[in-house]
Amino acid sequence: MKKKVLLMGKSGSGKTSMRSIIFANYIARDTRRLGATIDVEHSHVRFLGNLVLNLWDCGGQEAFMENYFASQRDNIFRNVEVLIYVFDVESRELEKDM
- Looking at residue 61, what is its pLDDT? 79
In terms of DSSP H, where are the helices of 2-89?
15-23, 62-69, 73-77
- Looking at residue 84, what is its pLDDT? 92
What is the 8-class DSSP label of residue 70? T
Q: Which residues of the chain have pLDDT under 70?
A: 94-98
Which pTM value belongs to this model?
Answer: 0.77
**How far is it, in rounded angstroms, from Cα 45 to Cα 60?**
22
- Looking at residue 88, what is its pLDDT? 79
- Looking at residue 95, what is its pLDDT? 63
**How far is it, in rounded angstroms, from Cα 50 to Cα 35?**
31
The amino acid at 55: L
- Looking at residue 60, what is its pLDDT? 82
Classify residue 88 as exposed, middle or buried by CB count within 10 Å of its CB (0-12, 13-18, 19+). Answer: middle
Fold held by 2-96: Rossmann fold (3.40.50)
Domain ranges of the chain: 2-96
